Amino acid sequence: MTFKAEYIWIDGTEPTAKLRSKTKVMADGAELPIWGFDGSSTNQADGSSSDRVLKPVFTCPDPIRGGDSVLVLCEVLNIDMTPHSSNTRAALVEVAEKYAAQESWFGIEQEYTFFKEGRPLGFPIGGFPAPQGGYYCGVGADEVFGREIVEKHLDYCIEAGLAISGINAEVMPGQWEFQIGPAGPVEVSDHMWIARWLLYRTAEAFNVGATLDAKPVKGDWNGAGAHTNFSTKAMREKYDPIITACEALAANALEHVKHYGSGIEERLTGLHETAPWNEFSYGVSDRGASVRIPWQVEVEKKGYIEDRRPNANVDPYLVTRLIVDTCCSALEKADQV
Ligand code: ADP
Ligand code: MN
Ligand code: MN
Ligand code: MN
C-alpha cells in the first residue's frame, strides 16, 4: 500500500507568513526524503534561482486522510543546506538547546476568527451583531457561530497527537480559541503550526476562512491574541524565579513587542483587556497588564506567568525563542535554575 505525505512549510510572505503544503505519494514503508519547491512562488526566492529545500522536522498522523497518511512539517533550507532567511525554527532550536537544562514549558492560547463572504461568521450583512457580552464561552445559536468546525478541528488535533489542551468561544462572534501545551518551546511551536494548518484545512471543507488577523474588526470589538504561558523548572518550584522572569521581560519589553506579530499597536491599545504596547506592566490576576501572574500562582508561590502581548498572528518560533533567551539567561545570572 502507498501512503500520502503532506509536506507543510512556512512561506516568506511579509509581514505575516502563510502556510503552504503539497502532497507526496510514498511507497509502503519508505523514509520521508528531503524535498523541494519553487521558492519564487512563495516569496522565498527569485525566479532565476528558485529552488528551495524542504527538510522534514516533525511528523504526525494525518487525521483527515487517515490510514498511514502523515503530515510532515518542514524547515525551509537553501540549496547549500543552510537555513533560509524565512526559517525562524533553526534559531529557536539553538536557543532551546542552550537552555535545555532549565526545562522550559509553554502553553499558547491561539485566538482566531472565522470569516465567510467578507464578514466574521455571525455578523449580519451590512451591519453589526449585538455588542460583546454574551459570546465568550457562550452556548446557543444566537451566541456561537462555527462550533461544528471547531469540534471537528479539536478531534483532528487529538487524532494527530498534538498537545492540544482545550478550546473556547471568544468575546466577539465568530471568534474562537484553542490552547496548545504545556510543552517545550520547539514542540509547542511545531504543534501550533500543524494545528493552524489543520484549522484552515478543516474550515476549508465548510467553505469558511479562518484568520489570525489581530484586529479583524475595527472599533469596539476584541482583537485576537496568542497569550503565551511560560515556566521553567525553577518557576514551577519557587516564587522568586517568577519575579525574576517578569523583571527580565520588563527590561527587554520593546525588543519583544517588535516581534510579537503584525499590527501590535492596533491590538495593544490599553482597551479590551490589553496593556498599551509601549508600556510594560506585570501583576497578579491583572488582565490589563502586559504579563499576568495567575492568582493560584501567587497563592501557591510557584507556577507560571502569562505574557498577554503576542498577537494571534505571532510566529511561535519567535515568541518562544525570545522568552527563553530573555528569561532563562536572567534566571541563570540570578542563580535561580
Ligand atoms: P486563560 O485563563 O488565560 O484563558 P487558558 O486556560 O486558555 O488560560 O490557557 C492556559 C495555558 O497555560 C494552557 O495551554 C496550559 O496548558 C498552560 N499552562 C498551564 N500550566 C503551565 C506551566 N506551568 N507552564 C506553561 N504553561 C502552562
Ligand atoms: Mn484562554
Ligand atoms: Mn482568549
Ligand atoms: Mn489568557
Q: Is the pLDDT of residue 1 over 90?
A: no
pLDDT in the model for residue 237: 98
Number of Cβ within a 10 Å radius of residue 85: 10
249-269 per-residue burial string, b: 16 or more CB within 10 A, e: under 16: beebbeebbeebbebbeebbe
Evaluate the CA torsion angle 188, 282, 269, 150 in order and state its sign: positive
- Judged by DSSP in three states, 105 sits in strand
The average pLDDT across 12-41 equals: 97
Distance of CA 53 to the CA centre of its chain: 24
Distance between Cα 136 and ligand 3 center (Å): 9
Residue 196 in contact with ligand 1 by CB distance below 6 A = no
User: In this structure, are residues 222 and 317 in contact, taking their beta carbons and an 8 Å threshold?
Assistant: no
Sign of CA dihedral 86, 265, 304, 312: negative
Supply the pLDDT for residue 274.
92
- CATH code at 2-87: 3.10.20.70
Q: Above pLDDT 70, what percent of the chain?
A: 100
Q: What is the mean pLDDT of the chain?
A: 97
Check: CB of residue 186 under 8 Å from CB of residue 96.
yes
Residue 331 pLDDT exceeds 90: yes
Atom of ligand 1 nearest to the CA of 182: 16
| Tens digits of residue pLDDT in 132-176 | 889 999 999 999 999 999 999 999 999 999 999 999 999 999 999
- Would strands 70-77 and 3-10 be described as parallel, antiparallel, or unpaired? parallel
The sign of the torsion formed by the CA atoms of 39, 45, 48, 51 equals negative
Does the CA dihedral 30-32-36-39 come out positive or negative? positive
| Cβ of 179 less than 6 Å from ligand 1 | yes
In the CATH scheme, what is the code of domain 95-336? 3.30.590.10
DSSP three-state, residue 196: helix
| Strand order from edge to edge, sheet including 3-10 | 19-26, 3-10, 70-77, 51-61, 35-38
- Domain map of the chain by residue range? 2-87, 95-336
Q: Is 175 in the pocket of ligand 1 (CB under 6 A)?
A: no
Residue with CA at minimum distance from ligand 1 atom 14? 107
Beta bridge partners of 73: 8, 58
pLDDT the model gives residue 288: 92
- Is the CB of 176 within 6 Å of ligand 1? no
Per-residue pLDDT, averaged over 220-235, amounts to: 96
CB of 337 closer than 8 Å to CB of 236:
no
Q: State how far the alpha carbon of 181 is from the alpha carbons of 2, 136, 186, 246, 298, in Å.
A: 33, 21, 11, 20, 21
Q: For atom 1 of ligand 1, which residue has the closest CA? A: 109
CA of 167 to the centre of ligand 3 (A): 9
Mean pLDDT of 100-122: 97
- Distance CA(227)–CA(221), nearest Å, equals 18
Cα(29) to ligand 2 centroid in Å equals: 40
Report how far ligand 3's centroid is from the alpha carbon of 17 (Å).
22
In the numeric block, which cell numbers belong to residue 266?
A: 492596533
For a pocket test of ligand 1, which of 229, 238, 274 has the largest count of ligand atoms closer than 8 A to its C-beta? 229
**Residue owning the nearest CA to atom 26 of ligand 1:** 107
Residues having C-beta closer than 5 Å to ion ligand 3? 177
d(CA 281, CA 249): 9
Whether the per-residue pLDDT at 315 is higher than 90: the answer is: yes
Give CA–CA dist 337/334, Å, rounded.
8
Q: How close is the Cα of 171 to the center of ligand 1, in Å? A: 18
User: Ligand 1 center to residue 96 CA distance, Å?
Assistant: 20
Report, as an integer, the average pLDDT of 177-191. Answer: 98
- Counting runs of H as helices and runs of E as strands, what totals does the chain give? 9, 14
Q: What is the mean pLDDT of residues 203-227?
A: 96
Q: Which of 162, 167, 177, 179 to mutate to test the pocket of ligand 1 (most atoms within 8 A of CB)?
A: 179
Among 27, 52, 54, 48, CA closest to 38? 52
- Asked if residues 305 and 292 have their Cβ atoms less than 8 Å apart, the reply is yes
The strand pair at 105-116 and 35-38 is best described as unpaired
- pLDDT exceeds 90 at position 303: yes
304 pocket-lining for ligand 1 (C-beta < 6 Å): yes
Distance between Cα 111 and ligand 3 center (Å): 6
Q: Is the CB of 230 under 6 A from ligand 1?
A: yes
Nearest CA to ligand 1 atom 17: 107
Ligand 2 center to 92 CA (angstroms): 24
What is the value of pTM for the model shown?
0.98
Rounded to the nearest angstrom, the distance between the alpha carbon of 308 and the centre of ligand 4 is 7
Q: Give pLDDT, residue 133.
A: 87
- Which pLDDT score, from 0 to 100, does residue 67 have? 96
